[in-house]
């Protein structure tokens, strides 16, 4: 038996193996953005619904990755430790996913507001778009897919904060309005209207969230840099060509520079006083990701992934310092 599959993982890798790292990042950034947007109170179920949804998406995505890889004749040992872990325990994890989804749906329809339900439907719409883009963006570094993934993550974190205080152009009730009239009209016409409204709700809600909060879009760009950085570091490990390794480092460095410059622009011309500390937190997180990029050869790929998440979390306490 392969020794790699039987070796006990280090303790610091356990949150990554269990897909708990992304929900933790989401919860902490949701708290940070809520503070920065001067939201006095948020229902606790908003946090747990977000964490549960993100955890389910990450588990299903990793199991799906392995299934696709194996269907193409790929070797499981060639995949990351987290993918091997998810495949080994896929039955338990998928059963837990079903349980979380059932509880989430029950909670959403019994206690959540119409605005929060609308945000949830929009999040599902973004996931559908992500799956569609993923089928076509099949480059070695899928920048389009990564951008949609980063913005979807940022939307999920920001939407529960924003939607309760703004007017949404479309509501979740627009989904089943046409279906309720299906008995009096052509069913396929009602279905077409329902699908149109589904994507109409998605695009209008996403637009409302990001136009009402530049911080949400800025956080999305930071997530995009994080995801793309991991892909570039993985490519750098796979290749034996020195010029390819240097290209991966340079591409990430340019991305970090662009994000830092855009943050400076927002700080100078756009962000209000209460939003400025988040801009500084984003800049520190970007600097930490850049440092990991420069020193990446000192860490394993699993270590790089964990450090990338640490870089998203570690600067958050600095918000108090920047708020003084």
pLDDT at 2 over 80: no
Rounded distance, CA 280 to CA 316, Å? 10
Residue 42 in any domain: the answer is: no
pTM: 0.91
The helix, strand and coil proportions of the chain, stated in percent and rounded to the nearest 5, come to 80, 0, 20
In terms of Cα–Cα distance, which of 302, 234, 305 is closest to 4?
Answer: 302
Query: Which one is predicted more confidently, 35 or 189?
Result: 35
Q: How far apart are the first and last CA of the chain?
A: 57
Mean pLDDT computed over 290-315:
93
Residue 287 in any domain: the answer is: yes
At 204 the three-state DSSP class reads helix
Mean pLDDT computed over 291-312:
93
Query: Which one is predicted more confidently, 180 or 124?
Result: 124
Write down the pLDDT at residue 109.
Answer: 86
Contact between 108 and 172 (Cβ < 8 Å): no
Name the one residue in this structure whose structure tokens are 């990701």: 289
Write down the pLDDT at residue 11.
Answer: 86
Residue 26 in any domain: the answer is: no
In terms of Cα–Cα distance, which of 227, 225, 294 is closest to 260?
Answer: 225
Q: What is the mean pLDDT of the chain?
A: 89
Contact between 232 and 170 (Cβ < 8 Å): no
Residues in the chain: 324
| 10 secondary structure, DSSP code | P
Q: What is the pLDDT of residues 195-239, one digit of tens each?
A: 888 999 999 999 999 999 899 999 999 999 999 999 999 999 888
Q: Residue 301: which domain range? A: 213-324
Rounded distance, CA 320 to CA 324, Å? 7
Overall domain count for the chain: 1
Q: What is the pLDDT of residues 248-296, one digit of tens each?
A: 999 999 999 999 999 999 999 888 888 899 999 999 999 999 999 999 9
Mean pLDDT computed over 161-173:
89
Query: Which one is predicted more confidently, 188 or 12?
Result: 12
Residue 244 in any domain: the answer is: yes
Q: What is the pLDDT of residues 168-193, one digit of tens each?
A: 999 888 877 655 555 555 667 777 88
Residue 283 in any domain: the answer is: yes
Residue 188 in any domain: the answer is: no
pLDDT at 44 over 60: yes
Residue 172 in any domain: the answer is: no
């Amino acid at each position: 038996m392969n020794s790699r599959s039987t070796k006990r993982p280090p303790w610091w890798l356990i949150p990554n193996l269990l897909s708990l790292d992304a929900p933790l990042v989401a919860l902490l950034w949701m708290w940070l953005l809520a503070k920065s947007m001067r939201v006095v109170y948020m229902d606790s179920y908003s946090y747990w619904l977000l964490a549960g949804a993100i955890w389910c998406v990450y588990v299903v995505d990793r199991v799906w990755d392995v299934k696709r890889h194996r269907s193409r004749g790929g070797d499981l040992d060639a995949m990351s430790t987290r993918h091997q872990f998810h495949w080994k325990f896929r039955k338990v994890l998928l059963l837990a996913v079903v349980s979380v989804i059932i509880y989430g749906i029950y909670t959403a329809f019994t206690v959540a507001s119409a605005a929060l339900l609308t945000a949830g439907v929009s999040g599902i719409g973004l996931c559908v778009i992500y799956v569609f883009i993923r089928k076509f963006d099949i480059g070695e570094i899928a920048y389009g897919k990564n951008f949609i993934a980063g913005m979807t993550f940022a939307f999920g974190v920001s939407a529960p904060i924003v939607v309760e205080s703004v007017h949404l152009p479309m509501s979740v009730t627009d989904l089943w309005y046409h279906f309720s009239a299906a008995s009096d009209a052509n069913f396929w016409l009602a279905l077409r209207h329902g699908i149109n409204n589904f994507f109409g709700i998605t695009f209008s809600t996403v637009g409302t969230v990001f136009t009402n909060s530049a911080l949400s879009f800025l956080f999305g760009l930071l997530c995009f840099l994080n995801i793309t950085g991991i892909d570039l570091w993985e490519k750098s490990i796979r290749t034996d060509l020195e010029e390819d390794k240097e290209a991966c480092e340079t591409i990430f460095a340019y991305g970090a520079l662009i994000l830092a410059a855009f943050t400076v622009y927002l700080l100078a011309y756009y962000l209000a006083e209460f939003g400025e500390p988040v801009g500084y937190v984003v800049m520190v997180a970007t600097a930490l990701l850049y440092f990991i990029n420069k020193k990446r050869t000192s860490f394993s790929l699993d270590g790089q992934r964990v450090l990338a998440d640490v870089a998203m979390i570690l600067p958050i306490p600095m918000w108090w310092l920047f708020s003084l």
